[in-house]
Amino acid sequence: MNTEQSHLNLRLNYRSANPEAYRAMLALERFIGGCRLDKSLVELLKTRVSQLNGCAFCVAAHAADLRRLGDYEEQLLLLAVWRDSPVFAGQERAALELAEHLVRIGERGVPEAVYAEARRYFGEAEYVDLVMVVNTINAWNRISISTGMYPGVKLE
């Protein structure tokens, strides 16, 4: 661990502390892995939601997962400012907008216009898939942040 990371401290290994909870999260992850959405879109959403939630561990992990799927470096570099960048297609924009509203659902809910734009690109089942992706990564973010996960930490 370098000196910049010396303040980072894994609080506990959530996997071994509560294996049943970990298995429940893995079941959600398996569902998302088999959903109808494009894998790159799923990883893009996981990365953006993790940015919004401030989960460095998940940002690093899902950015790496997206890179393994292809050349998404420009999207990753511009993800935090996606509204002002032409590199995101309409479907990605609709999904990112929905994801941001879901992360902050207590503030404004999901406005009808956001729902309608998402439904323009995604059918009912895919819409539910989008919601499940955001719900699952939100849960992972909260687990990772509360247990002290940071980029590079290894759990056994």
- List pLDDT tens digits, range 41-60: 999 999 999 999 999 999 99
Residue 3 is predicted with a pLDDT of: 43
* Alpha helices, DSSP H, located in the chain: 14-17, 19-33, 39-53, 56-69, 73-78, 90-103, 105-108, 112-121, 124-147
**pLDDT at residue 18 is higher than 50:** yes
Total-model pTM: 0.94
Domains, the chain, in order of start with CATH, read 14-147 (1.20.1290.10)
Q: Pull the structure tokens for residue 59.
A: 């940002």
**pLDDT at residue 1 is higher than 80:** no
Tell which wins on pLDDT, 48 or 1: 48
Cβ 139 vs Cβ 28: under 8 Å? yes
> CB within 8 A of 94, min separation 6: which ones?
117, 118, 120, 121, 122
Residue 104 is predicted with a pLDDT of: 98
